[in-house]
Amino acid sequence: MNLIEKILAKHTDRSQVKPGDIVDILIDARVARDFGGPNVVKTLEEHGLEVDDVSRTFFTFDTNPTGSDQKYAVNQQIVRTYARKHGIKVFDINTGIGTHTLISEGLAWPGSTAVTTDSHANILGSIGAFGQGMGDIDIAVAFNKGKVWFKVPPSVKITFTEKRPSNVTAKDIVLNLLHQFGANTLLGYSVEFYGEAVDELTLDERITIASMGTEMGVIVLLFTPSDAIMQYCEKQTGRKLEKPMADPDATYEQEFTIDISTYVPMVSRPGKPHDTVDVDVARNTRIDSAFIGSCTNGRIEDMRTAARILKNRKVAPGVVLKIVPATDEIWLQCLEEGLIATFKKVGALLSNAGCAGCAAGQVGQNGPGEVTISTGNRNFPGKQGKGAVYLASPATVAASAIAGYITTEDDIPEIAADYSQQDLEVGTNNIFAQHKDVSEKQDVISGRVWVIKKDDIDTDMIFHNRYLQITDPKEMGQYIFDNLAGYEDFAKRVKPGDIVITGKNFGAGSSRQQAVDGFATLGVQAILAESFGAIYERNAINAAFPILTYKSLDALQLKDGDVISINFKTGEVIKLENQKSQLIEPFAEVQLEIYRNDGLF
């Protein structure tokens, strides 16, 4: 077996698993955040469910570490109250990013399994562990049962040859990978890394790479732990650990050999993390703000790199530099090493440890017309505000903050550009609508289609993070697609019974259940796509919301407004106008069972 198969098999009642097997996996760490946590509590209480093992169950407050948003503060207190009642450990707003905390607290270790409401839980692949972001229903099941069902993914092996160039950081490595594989080439795969250049990667560097597995569409980016990482994890857990390793004769669906010496410093252009280019393509692009932090680049090595470049310099006029360490432990390291003083002297804004810019209302947001260069992992439209976001390494972001435009460490000007007197255009975009609920269960449905010919429609386009405080499904539908260009008025025009047909990787991005429930609120009957984001797929199936995949619908020549019927059991799609039919992927057995049960519960 390969690495993912060995980890999963060890957590089932089977001695061996293979791709496609659907198994119940024992979860070592069951976690909910301040985002998603209140809904997990609500689900458990509504169904009268107990917690399986409080010693394996945790809450992490990282999306709003300042407690500055009243709705988040309410949700956090709901979770605290529940946790006190049941004896569950809460890593509160003074702790930092939950996935990082799992590693530093020894709650995740090489070969372990963990699930959380964080879509970047696959960051645990950095230590050779299985981490998965899941929706509220999944996490509630994990709290209650200690296990979740999971489909064993196929695996890909990537081997790096030659030496890594000295100016190529871990962030550049993953941006180069995104350039090659995009957002959906490896959709649904587990990816393992090998080679001398991989062996030399530090824990912080592995975390950077693993954290962007979600943006690549993979289940997890897995590293076999080095001896140094094994020693670190043994110290954090307080016990001897077995190193997880693939068998010598392990099989992979695909294998790639990449010459890492060809890699260059990269940036992602605004709108798509996988729209990556050589930094020279974006060089000299003026910026208004810079951000260093996130679960991707908020580690101590990232802070040291930034401080080294920023030392004895000043942020360019008109540029705001925001820095947020990933955890409080790292924040204190910065304090002890004098990095905080460097950041403040250069003119940076420093905030509490946490997710920062990836969470609405937190440090790292931007306004209309604002151009930001960020070390984050996502730059979807609207994800960090109404401005444009470039993604880059800490070195590139720090250098750009000093220059006033995108540049690299070796090309920082003596005199910074000054854009401080230039104004931004300010605009607004508010859309509100109300629709009735429609919910009827049947194996064959028919309805009017919306043909949305777009790939990689992410959850921020479907249900923007500025609405995450909404927990009532009846209020969710009005915001569906209001951040998808060309479909901002979808919620006003859609009719109960409609069916959405779209492209590849629908639902990429965050683990938010609202991106599923909002469609049900509008009365949308089903979504057909060439492929779905892994977390979105689980959320939809578990909520009994019909989703189906297809390889082609060309024979039907569908256009907006056509009426089709779909048989969930057989996968037959019929265009009612002319009775032309085509077969697509029918419901899997587990999907049909959950659908007929009207949900996982």
Residue-level pLDDT at 191 = 98
The pLDDT tens digits of the residues spanning 466-505 come to 888 787 888 999 999 999 999 999 999 999 999 999 999 9
Is the pLDDT at 456 greater than 70? The verdict is: yes
The pLDDT tens digits of the residues spanning 386-427 come to 899 999 999 999 999 999 999 999 999 988 888 766 544 433
**DSSP letter for each residue of 217-260:** T-SEEEEPPPHHHHHHHHHHHTS--PPP---TT---SEEEEEEG
For 411-425, the three-class secondary structure string (H helix, E strand, C coil) is HCCCCCCCCCCCCCC
The pLDDT tens digits of the residues spanning 62-110 come to 988 876 778 888 989 999 999 999 999 999 999 999 999 999 999 999 9
Q: Which element (helix H / strand E) includes 462?
A: helix 459-462
Residue-level pLDDT at 61 = 93
Q: Does the 444-596 domain belong in CATH 3.90.650.10?
A: no
The candidate with the shortest Cα–Cα distance to 448, out of 522, 550, 551, is: 522
Lowest average pLDDT, out of 180-189, 335-344, 440-449, goes to 440-449
Q: How buried is 446 (Cβ within 10 angstroms: 0-12 exposed, 13-18 middle, 19+ buried)?
A: middle
Give the pair of three-digit tokens for residue 428. Answer: 């607004």
**CATH fold of 267-411, please?**
Aconitase; domain 3 (3.30.499)
Residue-level pLDDT at 429 = 38
Is the pLDDT at 250 greater than 60? The verdict is: yes
Residue-level pLDDT at 427 = 34
267-411 and 444-596: same fold? no
Boundaries of every domain in the chain: 3-262, 267-411, 444-596
Residue-level pLDDT at 420 = 65
Buried b (16+ CB within 10 A) or exposed e, 389-424: bbbbbbbbbbbbbbbbbbbbbeebeeebbebeeeee
Q: What is the mean predicted confidence (pLDDT) over 372-390? A: 90
Q: What is the mean predicted confidence (pLDDT) over 132-159? A: 97
Q: Cα dihedral sign for 315, 378, 433, 136?
A: negative
Q: Cα dihedral sign for 100, 103, 106, 108?
A: positive
DSSP-derived secondary structure letter, 96? B
Residue-level pLDDT at 229 = 98
Quickly state the pLDDT bin for 356 (edges 50, 70, 90): confident
Task: State the pairing for strand pair 220-223/190-194.
Answer: parallel
Residue-level pLDDT at 436 = 34
The pLDDT tens digits of the residues spanning 109-140 come to 999 999 999 999 999 999 999 999 999 999 99
Residue corresponding to tokens 């199936």: 541
Give the pair of three-digit tokens for residue 194. Answer: 């090998």
In angstroms, the CA 310 to CA 398 distance is 6
Mean pLDDT, the chain, integer = 93
Q: What is the mean predicted confidence (pLDDT) over 154-180? A: 98
Give the pair of three-digit tokens for residue 474. Answer: 């009846």
Q: What is the mean predicted confidence (pLDDT) over 239-263? A: 97
Q: What is the mean predicted confidence (pLDDT) over 176-190? A: 96
**CATH class (in words) of the domain with range 3-262:** alpha beta
